[in-house]
Amino acid sequence: MTRTIRSASVALLLALVMGVSAGSASAALLWADGFNGRILRAPWHEVDARWRVGSGSLRVVKASVDRRTHVGYAVVGLGSAHRRGLRVSSTVRLSPGQSNIGVVAPFENAGNHLLCKVELTPGHPDGKVAIERRLRGGSPTLLRARGAVGLRKGAVYRVTVVRRLRVVTCSVQRNAATVTKLRYSMTRQDLRAFGSGAKAGVRIRVVDRATIDDEDDGRSRFLDFRALAI
């Protein structure tokens, strides 16, 4: 009888622990989207472009992208900057032509944010991964980059940004294998401009002119999006 009571007590304790763990894991998820609907639902915000959802993916409306910067974003509020630990990722399908897309985090606004991007263009025919920033509305600044990483047209990759305090890593994976990883430590200037940014999202750079050889042709896709406090 005593053993039966003890066994029941242990089982109950394990169930409670598992329940708390599951609750904690659930609480860590800030936002997830598989783009299975027909519209980009709240709390997404379109910035400098319009976006369409269909066939389990998110794509930009090419003609709607800002004509001055040629860059469009879709971002979601995360409640706070989650400076101590934030992971933002998206599974992307590169264009069968040329690609220039990425994940933005932290994001204060279109003029102040950090970007992890992948590029497969005539200028980088074997692929390039980079960390860039926009500061006070200026031109994008290249902070870290690695070329010749073997990206393939039309292939699917996982692009991930991880922030821990001021340190940000940008990684790209294919079939769970790491293609490359970059690391950047945000400066005081960065922290003032976008370190408290409570948004994250996706970004594409499109130029609707055949003379441009380092931009996306508008056919790249975002297949999902996840943001977690870690």
The pTM score is 0.87
**Dihedral class, residue 165 (left if φ above 0, else alpha if ψ from -120 to 50, else beta):** left
- Domain extent listing, the chain: 30-229
pLDDT tens per residue, range 83-135: 999 999 999 999 999 999 999 999 999 999 999 999 999 999 999 999 999 99
Q: What is the CATH number of domain 30-229?
A: 2.60.120.200
pLDDT tens-digit map of 149-200: 999 999 999 999 999 999 999 999 999 999 999 999 999 999 999 999 999 9
Residue 18 CB partners (closer than 8 Å, separation 6+):
none
- List of residues 6+ apart from 221 with CB closer than 8 A: 57, 58, 59, 92, 93
